Structure 1
């Protein structure tokens, strides 16, 4: 490898990045900042749906998650492991009711969202109590959520990197409230197909109530991935490049 190529690769990895020109930037001092965020953020997300290597964004549609585990504490009645997860539909979300402040003394953004349909598929393993059933399933899952209302709360902080001020998300609270849910867990009672079908029927007859136990998986997966993707962008793009002057 030539010396010139080495220099190009090193400089390319250390120089601050800028957002693609098609991304609409809001002005953080604009009194209409909240309306700007409502209008343009999800438009910009859809422009990046296939990912962006320079910004460290993985493909967002579908969103891929290698693994997530829920229910590891002794008080948890249900332990869930999800692998090879794909979440479809999140880029169709709409944002509304933004309340944000990115001035020097503040760094937060709260907003509501609405997503017409979200589908989560992958491999699962479940052990524990749900409703009146003791589950010990393992196999494929495919869960669909319609008309999903979301509430999001972001907090962030500032830090200096190579002489530039960057943002870093420190907290993300995400709540996910669907109006209709259909669950599918293959072989939820391991080795007993008939009982598994009966239990899935009961679960789907009580789907919104069951979601109180299962829903944490979706919320945790999406919150974790959004924080990771946003902080990848923040680490590469200085604060003064994220907003209009």
Structure 2
């Protein structure tokens, strides 16, 4: 149940340019208050990008009606699917109706941007994340088959995450946009707690056993699940980023 760890972190970063209209919500000459643009020629470009994320924080908390961006505190994610087919924990997990608290309390640790190749590397930390939702899991843990469905609660603290965005420039109606070709993510955390309420197995006996197992072996489970978790996160937020970057012209957020 660990794939929610980095969702809120990446969502905070992605929302820098988030919009939900079918066409560009802003003209190339727009200077909205929630976007602090940077210049390609700025010798301190990385610092500028970092300050842009910091500048964005209060707008993420309140939401931005102009581009139909709702508040991400709490952050709500309708669905996430994770497959892990290797190691001791081999499961397919589907999470739905996810609510994440703590999304906007991020600190940008480092930024490296390449304006020629449109590659952006980010490192950030979040003190704590609390998430709830529904889950369905099928697979094997060690040699034991696991089938469970119900509600979950998870808590993570001292989270550090990284993301690498590989983009390219595309032209739409004569206007330049950035498309995300690939997104790689990683994360580490110091402490985690889990609680599930199993609705599938009678008398909740298996659910209680899973609660005990999850909390006693959380570090090992997180490491086993990380490949599947990071792949699911990367796929989810690649689509999310393209929904933003392909609607907001490059000149709005990156000046020549």
Which of the five TM-score ranges fits, normalised by the shorter chain?
0.7 to 0.9
Q: Say which structure, 1 or 2, has more relative contact order (CA 8 Å, 6+ apart).
A: 2
Specify every segment of 5 or more residues in structure 1 that has no aligned partner in the other structure, as ranges: 1-11
Check if 1:88 corresponds to 2:101: yes
The separation in 1 between residues aligned to 2:205 and 2:25, in whole angstroms, is 59
SS at match of 2:64: coil
In the other structure, the counterpart of 1:231 is: 242
Q: 1:226 to 1:54 in 2, by over 3 A?
A: farther
Checking the alignment, whether the CA contact within 8 Å between 1:136 and 1:188 is kept in structure 2 is no
How big is the shift at 1:151?
1.4
Check if 1:240 corresponds to 2:229: no
Check if 1:27 corresponds to 2:42: no
Q: 1:232 to 1:69 in 2, by over 3 A?
A: closer
In the other structure, the counterpart of 1:155 is: 166
Checking the alignment, whether the CA contact within 8 Å between 2:82 and 2:232 is kept in structure 1 is no
Check if 1:101 corresponds to 2:114: yes
In the other structure, the counterpart of 1:5 is: none
The separation in 2 between residues aligned to 1:203 and 1:15, in whole angstroms, is 44
The separation in 2 between residues aligned to 1:197 and 1:110, in whole angstroms, is 41
In the other structure, the counterpart of 2:12 is: none
Q: 1:232 to 1:199 in 2, by over 3 A?
A: closer
SS at match of 2:195: coil
The separation in 1 between residues aligned to 2:187 and 2:107, in whole angstroms, is 13
The separation in 1 between residues aligned to 2:84 and 2:158, in whole angstroms, is 30
The size of the alignment, in residue pairs, is 232
- Which stretch shifts more, 213-222 or 80-89? 213-222
Q: 1:13 to 1:203 in 2, by over 3 A?
A: closer
Check if 1:121 corresponds to 2:132: yes
TM (normalized to structure 2)?
Answer: 0.78
Q: 1:87 to 1:175 in 2, by over 3 A?
A: same
How big is the shift at 1:148?
0.5
| 1:141 aligned to which of 152, 162, 168 | 152
In the other structure, the counterpart of 1:43 is: 55
Check if 1:201 corresponds to 2:212: yes
Checking the alignment, whether the CA contact within 8 Å between 1:83 and 1:122 is kept in structure 2 is yes
Q: 1:225 to 1:161 in 2, by over 3 A?
A: same
When Rg is computed on C-alpha atoms for both structures, the one with the higher figure is 1
The separation in 2 between residues aligned to 1:63 and 1:215, in whole angstroms, is 21
Specify every segment of 5 or more residues in structure 2 that has no aligned partner in the other structure, as ranges: 1-21
In the other structure, the counterpart of 2:7 is: none
The separation in 2 between residues aligned to 1:140 and 1:216, in whole angstroms, is 23
